[in-house]
Structure 1
């Protein structure tokens, strides 16, 4: 199926500029909302989500166990100086 940029923009309800940026791989200036609308319109949003689910680098359990805990430093007292 051949879909022109203008047709995709119209069907997805996004700007032609956003479509051009998405196709060109330029993330700046394209909202996540517009990106997802474009994926949904061309019918590949489910494949993108599945790829994210299958990516071991995005395993939330592993990320949580490897995350460093934030620690609050003790407050300095004015009398310490």
Structure 2
């Protein structure tokens, strides 16, 4: 799956600003609650030191642990 313009893939979750879901033939969208190709903002719970995304139901989710996707970060802006 292509990474949207303005983003680059990172292997470091601590550097990721977003996660992009990929097609995962093991699960339906209804089961995964994430849409392939959609970019989800990463949310960090500072107290618990855990990362989350908001799924399609608006619930906190750790979908990135179960479903195919890439951690991505915004490219640096040129000012």
Which bracket does the TM-score occupy, shorter chain normalised?
under 0.3
Q: Please identify the structure whose Cα radius of gyration is greater.
A: 1
More strand by share: 2
Report the TM-score, using the length of structure 1 for normalisation.
Answer: 0.27
More helix by share: 1
Greater relative contact order structure (CA < 8 Å, 6+ sep): 2
